[in-house]
Chain A
Amino acid sequence: MKLKKISRGLTTVFIAIFTLMLGLTALAVESEADINQILGTSSFEIKYEENLNEDTEYFKKKTSSIDEFMKNKLALIEELTDEGTVLLKNNDTLPLKTEKKITLFGKTSTSLVYGGNSGNATIGNAGNENVNMTLKKGLELAGFEINPQMWDFYKTQKNEPPVESLPTDGLAEYNEAAIVLISRVTGEGSDAADGYYELTDTELKLVKKAEEISEKVIVIINSPSPVAVSEWKKDERVDAILQIGGAGAMGAKSLGKILRGTVNPSGKLVDIYAADSRSSAAYQVAGTMSYANADAIKAAGDSTYGIGAGGTKYTVFQEGIYVGYKYYETRYEDSVLNRGNANGSAGVYKSENNSWNYADEVDYSFGYGLSYSAFTQEIVECNIKDNVVTVKVKVTNKGPEQGKDVVQLYVQSPYTEYDKNNGVEKSAIQLAGMAKTDILLKNASATVEIKVDLYSIASYDYKGAKTWILDNGDYYFAIGNGAHDALNNVLAAKKAVGVDTPGNAELAYKWTNTEFKNFSDYKFTDKGFTTENGLFHNDTKTVNRLEKADLNNLIGPETTVYLSRSDWQKTWPAKGAAVTATKDMIDDIAFIPSYEKGENVGNKHVYGADTGYNIMIAKGLSYDDEVWESILNQMTVDEMIATVDKNFGAIDPIYGLGFKGTNDNDGVGSGPNAFYLNIYDSGNTVIDGEKKYSSLNAKMYPSETVVAATFNQKKVYELGEMQSEDCYYVGLVTLWGPGLNIHRHPYSGRNFEYFSEDSMLTYILGAQLTAGLQSNGVIASPKHFAFNDQETDRYGYGVFTNEQAARENSLRGFEGAVAVAKTKNIMTALNRIGCDWMGASVEVQQNILRDEWGFDGYTITDNAAEGYMHGYAITAGTDKFMLLTGAKGGKGITKASVLEDEKMFKSVRQACHRILYVYVNSKAVNGLSASSYIVRKTPWWKLLLINIDVILGCVIALGVVGYIAGYDKDKKEVVEE
Chain B
Amino acid sequence: MKSFISSKGIGFWFAVASELFALMGLISYSIAGQDAFGFMPAIVVFLVLGIAVGIIFGWRNFLRIGPMVMMIFFGGAASVFVYSRFMYFSHLFYGIASDPITGAMVVSTVAFIGMLVACALSGFFKWEKEEEKR
Q: Which residues of A pack against B, CB within 8 Å?
A: 1, 5-6, 8-13, 15-16, 18-20, 22-24, 26-27, 118-120, 187-189, 309, 795, 863, 865, 884-886, 960, 963-964, 967, 970, 973-974, 977
Contact = CB atoms under 8 A, between A and B. Distances in A.
Contacts of B65: 8, 960, 963-964, 967
Sort A-B residue pairs by CB-CB distance and give the 7 closest, nearest first.
A188-B95, A19-B75, A23-B79, A9-B124, A12-B123, A189-B95, A9-B123
A120 B90 CA distance: 11
Q: Give the dominant DSSP class at B's interface.
A: helix
Given A15-B68, A960-B65, A963-B65, A884 B94 contact: yes
Interface in B16-51: 37-38
A5 B95 contact: no
A970 B120 contact: no
B98 to A, nearest CB: 6
Interface in B83-104: 83-84, 86-87, 90-91, 93-98
A191 B7 CA distance: 61
B91 A884 contact: yes
B61 to A, nearest CB: 10
Contacts of B93: 118-119
A13 B68 contact: no
A24 B86 CA distance: 10
Contacts of A24: 79, 82
A9 B11 CA distance: 10
Contact of B80 (A13, A16, A18, A23): A23
B8 interface: no
B134 A974 contact: yes
The interface centre, meaning the residue of A10, A15, A885, A886 with most chain B CB atoms within 10 A of its CB, is: A15
A5 B98 contact: no
B126 interface: yes
A10 B120 CA distance: 8
21 contacts: A5-B124, A5-B126, A9-B123, A12-B123, A12-B124, A15-B68, A15-B71, A16-B75, A18-B75, A19-B75, A19-B78, A22-B79, A23-B78, A23-B79, A118-B95, A189-B96, A863-B91, A865-B91, A865-B96, A884-B87, A973-B134
Contact of A885 (B87, B121, B123, B131): B87
A13 B67 CA distance: 9
Nearest to A974: B134
Nearest to A7: B123
B35 to A, nearest CB: 10
Contacts of A884: 87, 90-91, 94
Contacts of B95: 118-119, 187-189
A188 B123 CA distance: 47
A13 B75 CA distance: 9
A967 B64 contact: yes
A71 to B, nearest CB: 31
B113 to A, nearest CB: 11
B122 interface: yes
The interface centre, meaning the residue of A26, A309, A795, A886 with most chain B CB atoms within 10 A of its CB, is: A886
Contact of A119 (B68, B83, B94, B121): B94
Contact of A20 (B68, B82, B84, B87): B82
Contacts of B67: 8-9, 12
B119 interface: yes
Given A12-B71, A19-B72, A22-B79, A27 B94 contact: no
A964 B38 contact: no
A188 B71 contact: no
Interface of B: 37-38, 63-65, 67-68, 71-72, 74-76, 78-80, 82-84, 86-87, 90-91, 93-98, 116, 119-126, 131, 134
B96 A12 contact: no
A5 B87 contact: no
Given A8-B68, A20-B82, 4 more contacts: A5-B123, A13-B120, A18-B75, A963-B68
B65 to A, nearest CB: 7
A41 B23 CA distance: 42
Contacts, number: 114
Contacts of A20: 75, 78-79, 82
Contacts of B126: 5
B79 A885 contact: no
Given A15-B71, A16-B116, A309 B98 contact: yes
Contacts of A885: 86-87, 90
B96 A886 contact: no
B120 A26 contact: no
Contacts of A963: 64-65, 68
A967 B91 CA distance: 48
B98 A23 contact: no
A9 B91 CA distance: 37
A118 B95 CA distance: 6
Given A15-B75, A23-B79, A884-B94, A960 B120 contact: no
Contacts of B134: 1, 970, 973-974, 977
B70 to A, nearest CB: 8
Contacts of B38: 886
A58 B101 CA distance: 48
Given A19-B76, A19-B79, A974-B134, A960 B94 contact: no
Nearest to B132: A1
Nearest to A884: B90
B68 A11 contact: yes
B96 to A, nearest CB: 5
Contacts of A27: 83, 86
A470 B37 CA distance: 50
B120 A863 contact: no
A18 B96 CA distance: 31
The interface centre, meaning the residue of B37, B68, B119, B131 with most chain A CB atoms within 10 A of its CB, is: B68
A967 B134 CA distance: 11
A967 B63 contact: yes
Contact of B119 (A12, A22, A120): A12
A752 to B, nearest CB: 13
A865 B67 CA distance: 37
A248 B116 CA distance: 45
Nearest to B46: A19
A753 B79 CA distance: 37
B120 A9 contact: yes
Contacts of A8: 64-65, 67-68, 123-124
Contacts of B121: 9
A103 to B, nearest CB: 36
Contacts of B71: 12, 15-16, 19
Nearest to B73: A19
B63 A886 contact: no
Contact of B72 (A15, A120, A188, A977): A15
A16 B76 CA distance: 8
Nearest to A187: B95
A973 B93 CA distance: 59
A11 B63 CA distance: 14
A27 B81 CA distance: 12
Contacts of A18: 75
A886 B84 CA distance: 8
B87 A16 contact: no
Contacts of A12: 67-68, 71, 119-120, 122-124
Contacts of A309: 98
A6 B123 CA distance: 8
B48 to A, nearest CB: 16
A297 B104 CA distance: 29
Contacts of B82: 20, 23-24
A970 to B, nearest CB: 6
